[in-house]
Chain A
Amino acid sequence: MFLHNVNPTVKALTIIGTVFLLAFVFDPVTPVLYIVWTVIVTFLFGTFKKRYYLYYFIPFTLFAFGMFWTTIVFSDTASGTTGTVSFLGMEFPTEDIWTAAALGLRVLAFASLSLLFLFTTNMVHFILSLIQQLKLPPKIAYGVMAGYRFLPMLKTEFQQIRAAHRIRGVNRPDSWKEKLLQYQRFAIPLLAGAIRKAERTAIAMESKGFTGAKERTFYRPMKVRRKDWLFPVMMFGMLGVTIAFSLYFGYFSWYDGQL
């Protein structure tokens, strides 16, 4: 599908660019519209298991609501001049609700954008593209890739250590000190194993002739093609349209030091 074929660097920069712009928007309407747009684009032009998207999206929603709620409860109530709104049986200044909703929805807009990226991008391709397009030093790029591979291995190690400690009877700390000590006991075998493995991996990579030199050929050449630009044009264009819409109906509010 279209989104999977967009050059990963172009895609990432577009996402970061839109996130950056959205960070300056302080009304709830613009982000809502943009969330709808992003989700539609993701579902229309991406192929992935839709169920997983929901699994990822729900915690974001909770987080966004948390943000909304704390902002209302803990905000500075000095400015309250525009009347109040009743919400969950309590009275809040309209302005605070408005800002809180903007903050919460902004988080959700960020989330939908990053999910668009996560669900339509192969991480290895992304890193390869960073090397080829953004000149990321191969030494870092491949080092990170090697480290990233450790994730599933670390998960099994973690479970094993937990079971092994349980056998030793250390899983029920009875004091604060004991609890802290337990974190350390857990971390040491996990980290020690990981460091040893990392070192061996580095040796294996060097034995295959890896020097970190910038000149290298690529088995998967990543190129920026003309059609890749369609994605940023689409995303930034729509952001412009949304802002225009909000402006037209008088909802729009830009960052001017209100927070």
Chain B
Amino acid sequence: MNNWKLKEIVVMSVLSVVFAVVYLAFLPVGKILVGFFGPIGYDLIFGIWFIVSIITAYIIRKPGAAFLSETIAAAVEVLLGNAVGPMLLVSGMIQGLGAESAFAMTRYKRYDLFTLMLAGVMAAVFSFVWGYFLSGFAALSTGYVLAMFIARIISGAIISGVAGKVLSDALAKTGVLSSFALGKEYRRKRAA
């Protein structure tokens, strides 16, 4: 934690707070989708719930960014009164670990689209395995569970990976990230 600057930590926590609210706002959306498609409804948009880990890691680029931001977001969700309660904290940590694992695989060197999508996929895989035990997916038919799994992976890659990158890049253009890793990279690219 010592190589983190305080401003990086505060920015990370603010991002987590913002997205905790976004996460809560998307729960009813998920519920509507579940109404239409059954439990797989959540999986279609599940990627939204990993997005802060990818955005934060992409902006700050330090070990722990993905894990911590997702954990803080989950904690804030719990504090705001999420319907799942304290268990959500564990889910958040597991999703964060999933995303973190992708960045760790590149030794925190690569932050291209592929890595970000991979982070989304890993978060999806980790969270699915956890959800399998926690929420009783096993009660569902195998084919259905497989479909859920695939939906969640795609959602993780697209919504959190691709959309997370697009959003962060748009943010870099505003200049507010100039003292963070992504902003610096953006400046170097423009200068070149």
In Å, the complex CA distance between A117 and B15 comes to: 25
A147: chain B residues at CB < 8 Å are 10, 12-14, 16-17, 72
The A interface, classified by DSSP as helix, strand, loop or mixed, is helix
State whether A192 and B139 are in contact (beta carbons under 8 Å apart), knowing that A107-B84, A139-B6, A139-B9 are contacts in the complex.
no
A123: chain B residues at CB < 8 Å are 79
Shortest beta-carbon distance from B60 to chain A in Å: 11
Residue-wise, chain A 14-34 has the 8 Å CB interface mask toward B (1 for contact) of 011001000100000000000
The verdict on B29 contacting chain A, using a C-beta distance below 8 Å, is: no
The verdict on B146 contacting chain A, using a C-beta distance below 8 Å, is: no
Chain B: which residue is nearest A112 at the CB level? B85
In Å, the complex CA distance between A71 and B138 comes to: 10
The B interface, classified by DSSP as helix, strand, loop or mixed, is helix
Residue-wise, chain B 114-146 has the 8 Å CB interface mask toward A (1 for contact) of 000000000000000000001111111100100
A1-20: which residues lie under 8 A (CB-CB) from chain B? 12, 15-16, 19
Contact of B38 among A16, A59, A74, A190 (CB under 8 A): A74
The verdict on A167 contacting chain B, using a C-beta distance below 8 Å, is: no
In Å, the complex CA distance between A147 and B20 comes to: 12
Q: Cβ of B6 and Cβ of A110 under 8 Å apart? A: no
Q: How large is the interface on A (under 10, 10 to 19, 20 to 34, 35 or more residues)?
A: 35 or more
In Å, the complex CA distance between A191 and B135 comes to: 33
The verdict on A144 contacting chain B, using a C-beta distance below 8 Å, is: yes
The verdict on A148 contacting chain B, using a C-beta distance below 8 Å, is: yes
Q: Cβ of A73 and Cβ of B17 under 8 Å apart? A: no
In Å, the complex CA distance between A203 and B6 comes to: 8
Residue-wise, chain A 206-221 has the 8 Å CB interface mask toward B (1 for contact) of 1000101000000000
> In the complex, which of the residues B4, B11, B170 has the most CB atoms of chain A within 10 Å of its own CB atom?
B11
A71: chain B residues at CB < 8 Å are 136, 139
In Å, the complex CA distance between A60 and B81 comes to: 9
A212: chain B residues at CB < 8 Å are 1-2, 6
A180-216: which residues lie under 8 A (CB-CB) from chain B? 184, 187-188, 190-192, 194-199, 201-203, 205-206, 210, 212
A154: chain B residues at CB < 8 Å are 17-18, 21
Q: Give residues in A with beta carbon < 8 Å to B.
A: 12, 15-16, 19, 23, 56, 59-60, 63, 66, 70-71, 73-76, 96, 99, 103, 107, 110-111, 113-115, 117-118, 123, 137, 139-140, 143-144, 146-148, 150-151, 154, 184, 187-188, 190-192, 194-199, 201-203, 205-206, 210, 212, 259
Extra contacts, 16 of them, besides A16-B89, A73-B38, A259-B136 (Cβ < 8 A), are: A60-B83, A74-B38, A110-B86, A113-B85, A115-B81, A123-B79, A140-B68, A143-B6, A150-B14, A154-B17, A188-B174, A195-B15, A198-B14, A202-B9, A212-B2, A259-B137
Can you identify 26 A-B contacts, CB atoms within 8 angstroms?
A19-B87, A23-B134, A66-B31, A66-B34, A74-B39, A75-B140, A99-B136, A99-B139, A107-B83, A107-B85, A114-B85, A118-B79, A139-B9, A140-B9, A143-B12, A144-B13, A147-B17, A148-B13, A151-B17, A184-B167, A199-B11, A199-B179, A201-B10, A202-B5, A210-B6, A212-B1
Q: Give residues in B with beta carbon < 8 Å to A.
A: 1-2, 4-7, 9-18, 21, 31, 34, 38-39, 68, 72, 75-76, 78-79, 81, 83-87, 89, 134-141, 144, 166-167, 170-171, 174, 176-177, 179
